[in-house]
Structure 1
Amino acid sequence: MTLTVAIVGAGPTGLYTFQKLIETKEPLTIWVFEKGDRAGIGMPYTAEKTDRRMLANIASIEIPTLTMSYYDWLKEQPDAILKSYGVEPTTFNVRTFTPRMLLGEYYRAQFVTLVGHAEERGHHVEILEGVEIEDVVPQNNAVQLISTVGVIEQLFDRVILATGHMFPIDEDETDHYYPSPWSGLIDADIPATSVGIMGTSLSAIDAAMAVSCQHGRFKEDGKGDLSYELKDKNSKLAISLLSRSGIVPEADFYCPLPYEPLTVCTEAALTNERSKSTDGLLDRAYVLFAREIETNDPDWAKEIALQKLDADTFHDAYFDRRLKSDPFKWARKNLKEVEENRDARITVAWRYAILRMHEAFEVLYADLCEDDRKRFDRGLKRVFVDNYAAIPPESIRRMLALRDAKILSVASLGEDYGMTVRPEKTIITSNDECYEFEVFIDARGQQALGSKEIPFPTLRKILLDAGPEVTEVGEDYSVIDPPELEGLVSLGAIPFLMHDRPFVQGITACAEIGKAMGHAVRRQATRRRRRVMAACGGPRRKAEPT
């Protein structure tokens, strides 16, 4: 019997799922549904959501290969095409950060090639572009899909949900408030006025760039220095980046790829700690974390007095100097260091150690008790996020050019601030300060979502009736609670996986999730991915068998 599989969403996760599916020798019937006009690209990489200047926060060498590597694909593109995206054909290399739109074109080309491979191997493929799935209806060991063009008559043995990010829909017709950078900002005409952007990540900096490029342009001189020039010298454009801490991201640093193995905080060492009581798990893991740093960079360990720190105070020492510095002066200094290290191929050892440990701690997170999760979120999580979310140096240069043009500022709001959205302006209050913005963009990124946010009514009701607020999935992302969904639905949409995977994001995660879901079509997982959270002070509650 030929299995019939539906992939809902044809962005990167959907593509890596498709790649794995077509490896099977048994013929499959695969339907691909994509609400956008072109399957394979993915929302953050489309012309509707980004522009040619916005960079993907991942180097070419780090992008998981489909039919050919991204770097090899880039080398095959005509010089004129690369130049149209701002990529210099004679100097780009495997560590180059390229525009999101160009990466989207790679994924589109790879999808077309994969479809050809699928047909050559005897698989039957149906592609429905411009079709959005509105409901997922399990029935009699099969699943029916309802779309914007009506009921899909074909019943599916497995439905794979690879719907990607989900951001709030902008229902404000005044164009003063944007609940995310993806909610119409690219096509909007933003006036030259006070613009507030919540967040200081790459998404926030890109939002600032999208606004500023409507009112001026970036110029590079013969020495390679970047500046920004307004079209109207009397413009009143003023952009503020807002965050709790007021610090800005650091530039992506040079390091060996693929990652070198850890020496102390290894998978085996953490597995040993996870096998013990939940009581003290975070603190025992921190001991390994600190020893790894001290082994890799004893001078930095001494500089921050690492031996006096613990899981609750390490982040204070990590951020201390940046919090005491002007964010733009720090950014300028950090950019210079990063560029010099890149040219000399020097790796800052402590940075590299933290980078390599974040994936190990993500696995550990699912086993932490509730109190330890809160401690981790307040401390080490912020360190890991700051470290791995370092952004392309070119984005730092653009940010500094806006600062030099007296267009951009950064404000620290502290932990307790208020936000009031009115039809004509947004008001932020904090620390006896009041900020008013005629245009406001929320660029804080994707929030974790639960079963009640599942966008398919029938499936949502089944999940909510089963009880858990967070959808239970197996190690292959198969929905395993309630039992009636086992083997029918896979959930690989990142927002619904963030509750116990605090660092799940980006293309490498899409590849891992997609390959696991593709493999699951022939083999059902036997273990839950999401663990039951134990209370501190007792033995670890092991995953229930399924």
Structure 2
Amino acid sequence: MTDIIADGDGLRVLVSPKRGSAFERRFDQVALATGHQWPKEPEVRPGYFLSPWPAGALQRVPATNVGIRGSSLTAIDAAVALDVAHGTFIETQGDKIGYRANAGGDLLHMTIMSRKGMLPEADFHHPVPCEPLAICTAEAIDRLIDTECDTLLDSSYRLFKRGLAHADPDYAARIGLDGLALEDFADRYFAERADVDPFVWADANLAEARSNYELGVTVPWRYAILRMHEVLARIVPHLDPDALDRFGRFLKPVFVDEYATVPHLSIERLLALHRAGHLDVSALGEDYRVDSHGAEPGATVIIDGERRHFPVFIDATGQRPLAADRFPFRSLLEQGVVPDAAEDDPEEPKGIAVDEGFHPVSDEPAAARIHCLSMPFILGRHPFIQGITSSHEMGGIVGSDLARAVAEQTPGRGAGGYAMKLFAIYVGGEHPEAHIEIHDVRFVVAASIRDIYDQLRAEWWGTPGTLHVDCWAEIDHADGFDVSLRPQRPSGKKKLYFVNLGGYDGLGFAEQHNNMFVVATPVADAKAQALRSIAGWTDAHRDDLYEAEKAFALDTMIGDRFHIHLTPNAERRPPRFTCRYTPLR
């Protein structure tokens, strides 16, 4: 695939195969799952490897002094690949793994480098399938997100602390969790390991992990952090740049440490290499630099002014977030279908912003036809998506959305292909303390207007037996936008508002009213836009104004959760409503 072009109600995919002529195909929906983006040749300069993949490229590395930046499983795999090229691991049942170098292989020495100078911990035992969380749940985090408050990160951290203390009170007391500020949590979490030689710690941790597997023992605090990082990840797309930076510095390292534990065999091999004198670990700290542009091959690492040269240097820190300008499908960028997340705000993380359905955040209608799972470009706002669990969840979300898109084209389905619709109903009736008929507007989500009647009767506060419907409308278009309900959160900034306007025309003995739906970004624009529609009234004013999602109480629905989506439609049309006296006795 060389390009994708939004064209009317579809997408043109351009393909240049290795063999044969170039061609293009047209699709209704496209899912982009292009995976990691590595250079075809990892040795971008003599002795300097921008990535360890493909691993076969490391086979040509000579037995020399090798620096490896990173300490995750990627770095471990790189170290093992080098060692297998220059020696053999000796595995005898009942004994510790050993390592024997080939002829000339004694010259191989590797240094794994990371900021903290620690090795990852061994996989630990925990129940499968996972047990439900008690306090820091997805529902609780979603409620915090819905408040759209400026303190989302701090509120979520307080919820995280409550969940951790509930899961393991002894651990919480040992680390002084109750008094730990967000900025101090990671330091306290790593403090005990920081004081111990990394290989001594790895040996003890491996022994503990093995014993726990044999006995079926789960360490509560480890399991709680592992589970809660999955729900805390939900807040990341909603954080402002400052909060995102704090999350990345003070919570993300802990979460990565828990979910990136490695197989026991990997730890055994690291210990064997260290015992054989082929492997060390070094702490880079925060103030370091890697110079790969010197006259000599490889790279020089500068730590606090001290220089150390490695004839071979491998960057094994894994995939980094990529800016949108590296996105391979240029036409989607030029058309604004896939916009640069940092275009309007340089402080935003680089890459492409996506909504909860993994559609690009764009007001262009074609964005609803694209699911962007291209990991390097969404990694900035979704830092934990590289694992198998996340891949499974993303596949489920996109698969369900594609199934709904297919259903949308099936005859007999409702507007937008979704069974549930938005209805605004103007009701009237008598009240024992009123001299004239009273009226109200009710907002209901249902499959049809008749499904609403029982709910209206249950909510009626007036004289029993007098309730009736005067007018009703299905809200499927407003202010130049098609309106639909979908499970995913919307990607655009515009919102739908209901406005009830009041004023006087000098002709009737009553205040006149006008009810309307408008589309705007800030609420002040919605009010101003609505007032312009009644410029001929005297003392025109807003009586009531509601954001539609709140008016329809979408956040309190039982069962499926829906959100209002707005799609621009050049064919603006006036609201369609039915006015007919319909008693609901």
Q: 1:378, CA displacement in angstroms? A: 0.9
Q: 1:247, CA displacement in angstroms? A: 0.8
Residue type at the aligned position of 2:185: F
2:263 alignment counterpart? 392
Tell me if 1:459 matches 2:327.
no
1:345-374 deviations in whole A, cap 9, x for unaligned? 100011011011001100122222332222
1:142 alignment counterpart? 10
Residue type at the aligned position of 2:323: G
CA–CA separation in structure 2 for the residues paired with 1:466 and 1:152? 26
Q: 1:341, CA displacement in angstroms? A: 0.5
CA–CA separation in structure 2 for the residues paired with 1:205 and 1:212? 11
Residue type at the aligned position of 2:81: A
> Judging changes above 3 Å, is the alpha-carbon distance between structure 1 residues 206 and 466 closer, same or farther for their aligned structure 2 residues?
closer
Instruction: After TM superposition, list the pairs within 5 Å mapping 1:104-503 onto structure 2.
Output: 133-149=1-17, 150-170=21-41, 172=43, 175-183=46-54, 185-186=56-57, 188-232=59-103, 235-276=106-147, 278-422=149-293, 424-463=297-336, 466=339, 468-469=341-342, 470-479=351-360, 481-503=362-384
2:441 alignment counterpart? none
> Judging changes above 3 Å, is the alpha-carbon distance between structure 1 residues 530 and 198 closer, same or farther for their aligned structure 2 residues?
farther
Q: Is the 8 A contact 1:492 1:517 kept in 2?
A: no
Residue type at the aligned position of 2:318: G
The number of residues matched between the two structures is 406
Residue type at the aligned position of 1:144: R
Q: 1:168, CA displacement in angstroms? A: 3.8
Q: 1:203, CA displacement in angstroms? A: 0.3
Tell me if 1:505 matches 2:505.
no
> Judging changes above 3 Å, is the alpha-carbon distance between structure 1 residues 544 and 325 closer, same or farther for their aligned structure 2 residues?
farther
CA–CA separation in structure 1 for the residues paired with 2:490 and 2:308? 43
Local SS of the residue matching 2:2: strand
Q: 1:527, CA displacement in angstroms? A: 4.3
Q: Is the 8 A contact 2:361 2:491 kept in 1?
A: no
Local SS of the residue matching 1:235: helix
Q: 1:272, CA displacement in angstroms? A: 3.1
CA–CA separation in structure 2 for the residues paired with 1:499 and 1:140? 31
CA–CA separation in structure 1 for the residues paired with 2:390 and 2:237? 17
1:99-153 deviations in whole A, cap 9, x for unaligned? xxxxxxxxxxxxxxxxxxxxxxxxxxxxxxxxxx122222233322222324324
1:66-107 deviations in whole A, cap 9, x for unaligned? xxxxxxxxxxxxxxxxxxxxxxxxxxxxxxxxxxxxxxxxxx
CA–CA separation in structure 1 for the residues paired with 2:160 and 2:369? 40
Q: Is the 8 A contact 2:354 2:491 kept in 1?
A: yes
CA–CA separation in structure 2 for the residues paired with 1:465 and 1:488? 11
Q: 1:383, CA displacement in angstroms? A: 0.7
Q: What are structure 2's unaligned runs of at least 5 residues?
A: 343-350, 406-485, 494-548, 550-562, 567-585
CA–CA separation in structure 2 for the residues paired with 1:388 and 1:377? 15
CA–CA separation in structure 2 for the residues paired with 1:312 and 1:380? 8
> Judging changes above 3 Å, is the alpha-carbon distance between structure 1 residues 484 and 251 closer, same or farther for their aligned structure 2 residues?
same
2:454 alignment counterpart? none
Residue type at the aligned position of 2:12: Q
Residue type at the aligned position of 1:325: V
Q: Is the 8 A contact 2:42 2:57 kept in 1?
A: no
Q: Is the 8 A contact 2:113 2:282 kept in 1?
A: yes
CA–CA separation in structure 1 for the residues paired with 2:141 and 2:31? 32
Local SS of the residue matching 2:106: coil
> Judging changes above 3 Å, is the alpha-carbon distance between structure 1 residues 266 and 482 closer, same or farther for their aligned structure 2 residues?
closer
Q: 1:270, CA displacement in angstroms? A: 2.3
Residue type at the aligned position of 1:145: V
CA–CA separation in structure 2 for the residues paired with 1:295 and 1:465? 43
Local SS of the residue matching 2:107: coil
Q: Is the 8 A contact 1:136 1:143 kept in 2?
A: yes
1:163-219 deviations in whole A, cap 9, x for unaligned? 111124437466511111115644641100011111000000100000111000101
Q: Is the 8 A contact 1:197 1:441 kept in 2?
A: yes
In terms of mean alpha carbon deviation, does 234-243 or 383-392 score higher?
234-243
1:379-421 deviations in whole A, cap 9, x for unaligned? 1111111111111111101111111111001111111211111
Q: 1:343, CA displacement in angstroms? A: 0.4
CA–CA separation in structure 2 for the residues paired with 1:466 and 1:181? 31
1:519 alignment counterpart? 400
1:511-544 deviations in whole A, cap 9, x for unaligned? 2222322332343557447687xxxxxxxxx998
> Judging changes above 3 Å, is the alpha-carbon distance between structure 1 residues 196 and 544 closer, same or farther for their aligned structure 2 residues?
farther
CA–CA separation in structure 1 for the residues paired with 2:378 and 2:45? 34
Q: Report which of the two structures shows the higher radius of gyration computed on alpha carbons.
A: 2
Q: Between the two proteins, what is the percent identity of the paired residues? A: 37
> Judging changes above 3 Å, is the alpha-carbon distance between structure 1 residues 171 and 263 closer, same or farther for their aligned structure 2 residues?
closer
Local SS of the residue matching 1:441: strand
Q: Is the 8 A contact 1:282 1:311 kept in 2?
A: no
Alignment RMSD, CA only?
2.5
Q: 1:259, CA displacement in angstroms? A: 1.2
CA–CA separation in structure 1 for the residues paired with 2:168 and 2:55? 45
CA–CA separation in structure 2 for the residues paired with 1:141 and 1:273? 37
Q: Is the 8 A contact 1:413 1:431 kept in 2?
A: no
Local SS of the residue matching 2:135: coil
1:471-525 deviations in whole A, cap 9, x for unaligned? 3434322335251423432211222222222211122222222232233234355
Local SS of the residue matching 1:221: coil
CA–CA separation in structure 1 for the residues paired with 2:164 and 2:75? 31
Q: 1:328, CA displacement in angstroms? A: 0.6
Residue type at the aligned position of 1:339: R
Residue type at the aligned position of 1:248: L
CA–CA separation in structure 2 for the residues paired with 1:288 and 1:516? 26
> Judging changes above 3 Å, is the alpha-carbon distance between structure 1 residues 277 and 348 closer, same or farther for their aligned structure 2 residues?
same
- Structure with the bigger RCO (C-alpha within 8 Å, sep 6+) is 1
Local SS of the residue matching 1:521: helix
CA–CA separation in structure 2 for the residues paired with 1:471 and 1:495? 9
> Judging changes above 3 Å, is the alpha-carbon distance between structure 1 residues 173 and 260 closer, same or farther for their aligned structure 2 residues?
closer
Local SS of the residue matching 2:238: coil
Local SS of the residue matching 1:293: helix
CA–CA separation in structure 1 for the residues paired with 2:178 and 2:249? 20
Local SS of the residue matching 1:205: helix
Residue type at the aligned position of 2:306: E
Q: Is the 8 A contact 2:291 2:301 kept in 1?
A: yes
Q: Is the 8 A contact 1:241 1:409 kept in 2?
A: yes
Q: Is the 8 A contact 2:321 2:378 kept in 1?
A: yes
CA–CA separation in structure 1 for the residues paired with 2:490 and 2:299? 40
Local SS of the residue matching 1:256: coil
1:87 alignment counterpart? none
CA–CA separation in structure 2 for the residues paired with 1:464 and 1:188? 42
